């Protein structure tokens, strides 16, 4: 009976991993669709420089939301634009997006597991 319980749990995790894998593989759609539709960059991934450029076109020179300006001075992404150096165009940019998804997913899962072990250890459930 215990054996069947583990099989059910394994199946649930398999479905979870398949779902995560599908989401990672679909991530480049945010690059592909705007490119195909000639819509500019991926929606919602604008930097302060892009917003300033759009504002100039609208006659609002040098306007960048204050919070975005402050954050862009403090934080820079570990993998800027989800691409490695020289991988910012074409197929390589899509592969960079997928690698970024894999790295990000691995980090989130790793940190979650670490936090889970810490709290399980505190409760004596290790």
Tell me: do 85 and 51 sit in the same domain. no
Q: Are residues 69 and 83 in the same domain?
A: no
Predicted TM-score (pTM) above 0.75: no
User: Where in the sequence is the domain holding 105, given as residue range(s)?
Assistant: 79-126
Please, what is the Cα angle at 17 between 125 and 5, to 5 degrees? 50
Q: Is residue 122 part of a domain?
A: yes
Residue 65 lies in a domain: yes
Domain match, 35 and 54 both? yes
Mean pLDDT of all residues in the chain?
79
87: in domain:
yes
* Position 7 in a domain: no
The answer to whether residues 70 and 99 belong to one domain is no
32 and 49 inside one domain: yes
Q: Are residues 35 and 56 in the same domain?
A: yes
Residue 58 lies in a domain: yes
Residue 119 near residue 126 (C-beta atoms within 8 A): no
Whether residue 124 is contained in a domain is answered as yes
Task: Please indicate, yes or no, whether residues 84 and 52 belong to a single structural domain of this protein.
Answer: no
Q: Convert the pLDDT of each residue in 2-37 to its tens digit.
A: 555 556 667 778 888 899 989 888 888 877 787 788
C-alpha 17/C-alpha 29 separation (Å) is 20
**Structural tokens at position 85:** 């150096």
- 79 vs 106: which has the higher pLDDT: 106
Q: Which pLDDT tens digit goes with each residue over 92-109?
A: 888 888 888 888 899 999
pLDDT of 91 over the 60 cut = yes
% of the chain surpassing 70 pLDDT: 85
pLDDT given at position 22: 92
Average confidence (pLDDT) over 39-43: 69
């Amino acid at each position: 009976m215990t054996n069947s319980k583990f099989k059910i749990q394994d199946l649930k995790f398999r479905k979870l991993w398949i779902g995560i894998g599908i989401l990672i593989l679909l991530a480049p759609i945010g690059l592909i669709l705007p490119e195909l539709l000639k819509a500019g960059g991926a929606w919602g991934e604008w930097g302060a420089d892009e917003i300033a450029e759009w504002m100039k076109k609208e006659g609002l020179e040098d306007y960048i939301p204050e919070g975005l300006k402050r954050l862009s001075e403090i934080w820079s992404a570990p993998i800027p634009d989800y691409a490695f150096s020289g991988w910012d165009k074409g197929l390589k940019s899509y592969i960079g997006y997928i690698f970024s998804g894999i790295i990000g997913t691995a980090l989130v899962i790793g940190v979650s597991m670490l936090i889970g072990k810490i709290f399980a250890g505190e409760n004596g459930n290790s």
